[in-house]
Amino acid sequence: MTTPTADETALAALRERYARAARNAASGGCGRCPPDPADGVGGCVPCLPDPADDVGGCGRCPPDPADRVGGTGYAAGELADLPLGATAASLGCGNPVAIADLREGETVLDLGSGGGLDVLLSARRVGPRGRAIGLDMTPQMLDLARANAARAGAGNVEFLLGRIEDIPLPDASVDVVISNCVLTLSLDKPAVFAEIARVLRPGGRVGVSDLIADPSVSEDRRAACPQAAGAAASLTGPEYRAMLAAAGLTGVEVTVTHPAGPDLSAAIIRATKPADAPPYTIAAMTAAHAPQVLAIYQAGIDTGDATFEATAPDWAAWDAAHLPDHRHVALDRTGAVLGWVALAPVSDRCVYGGVAENSVYVHPDARGHGVGRRLLEAVIASSEAAGIWTLQTGIFPENTASLALHRATGFRDVGIRTRIGRHHGRWRDVVFLERRSTRVGTD
């Protein structure tokens, strides 16, 4: 038997927590409270009251029931004729249906749909020509949501079992993605945002309520808290913005609505998939992409104008040389890699901690479709979110396409390093470029 990873253990605990909440709501209780009396908190407090769960005061247990995050933002009339099972099970921190400005005939996807309240409200707004789909990883929540939909007589709804990091829907199949207090729980948020961008139709919208960490939350505090716990796991507003932008979404707005616990606030997040979005998505690179990443690298090497390297390294060497959080791939509809971008550290010296060297390579068949630009924008967004202030790169003067691409994304020519190295028997110049962030390290 293999030992579960820390992420698998955290996910199983999360699923069990929501299974308990669903069972409690299904038996006429309130979804927000674990029903076990040993948990010691009566009433509908949206927390895990087991003190062992609240390591280091991570903000998961607002002490005052008035601080609760569940079921906020709904007008009383809006909920009046919905089954009690749906309203009582609400575990959200806002009203994404109101944020999303739904229209008749649209297809809406609710990520982490729980007891189904927002799906039922969406179904009403999009009408019989539209469709509201709920996605949840907890089977007991799906049972509860389906029972609530049957009680509400909603015919245009559907509930799917699955994870928000791997949405079981085709590309460009949804007009609007909503979610209520769920994305903060994900252990792989870049994957969630990439999936949102993939399933949205061009011009589609995101309207999400979520918890965000207050900017003042310290790194120590984040590190001390377990994964998926309050402010430890939540993104700050700037991080949220950067990750949505890295996934290719535009018009990102993050608006704080109310405090939701120590170091935590509830927020409304809006974004749009550009109407002219290309038929590929940007996603975090994983080891599964390695063969294609290295093949694209080799194709670049073979042009003779991309790098001094003669052959692509093996994956272990490539992996060791690049920063784990700043590797992105462009994927077509079949999941094939069209290009990649990655950062490598430039120095061990602390003073250069915010400086990294970027490489970007595009498959020969995918050139001329903006893939390189989208990849560079993704790595600029992820690096700025991580506090990296300068990206630098060296490009052969003959590689005019790469020079134009870098200049178009804010790189400036620092100068030409003359006859800096021998390449296939001839001395070559390299144009040295850098991009100094105007958002990071500006104090």
Ligand X SMILES: C[S@@+](CC[C@H](N)C(=O)[O-])C[C@H]1O[C@@H](n2cnc3c(N)ncnc32)[C@H](O)[C@@H]1O
The tokens 């052969």 sit on which residue?
A: 396
Instruction: Tokens for 182, please give them.
Output: 């769920």
- Binding residue (CB under 6 A) for ligand X from 157, 185, 200, 430: 185
- Binding residue (CB under 6 A) for ligand X from 133, 141, 233, 254: 141
> Does 180 help bind ligand X (rule: CB under 6 A)?
yes
Distances (CA, A) of 254 to 193, 228, 315, 401, 440: 15, 21, 38, 35, 19
In the complex, least distance from residue 86 CB atom to ligand X, rounded to whole angstroms: 9
Residue closer to ligand X, measured from CB, 136 or 384? 136
Instruction: Kindly report the length of the chain.
Output: 443
Residue closer to ligand X, measured from CB, 27 or 418? 27
Which residues lie below 8 Å from residue 238, measured CB to CB, with a gap of 6+? 215, 385
3-state secondary structure (DSSP) of residue 379? helix
Residue closer to ligand X, measured from CB, 115 or 190? 115
- Residues 390, 345 contacting (CB under 8 angstroms): no
- Residues 32, 65 contacting (CB under 8 angstroms): no
Which residues lie below 8 Å from residue 233, measured CB to CB, with a gap of 6+? 184, 185, 187, 225, 227
Segment lying near ligand X (by CB under 6 A), choices 55-63, 163-171, 303-311, 396-404: 163-171
Report 81-140 residues binding ligand X (CB under 6 A).
Answer: 90-92, 112-115, 117-118, 136-138
- Binding residue (CB under 6 A) for ligand X from 26, 182, 200, 379: 182
**How do beta strands 157-161 and 131-136 pair?**
parallel
> Does 157 help bind ligand X (rule: CB under 6 A)?
no
> Does 163 help bind ligand X (rule: CB under 6 A)?
yes
In the complex, least distance from residue 76 CB atom to ligand X, rounded to whole angstroms: 17
In the complex, least distance from residue 120 CB atom to ligand X, rounded to whole angstroms: 11
Residue closer to ligand X, measured from CB, 91 or 331? 91
**How do beta strands 107-111 and 174-180 pair?**
parallel
> Does 181 help bind ligand X (rule: CB under 6 A)?
yes
Residue closer to ligand X, measured from CB, 179 or 292? 179
Report 6-45 residues binding ligand X (CB under 6 A).
Answer: 14, 18
Closest CA to 361 of 321, 404, 307: 307
Residues in contact with ligand X by CB under 6 A are 14, 18, 90-92, 112-115, 117-118, 136-138, 141, 163-165, 180-182, 185-186
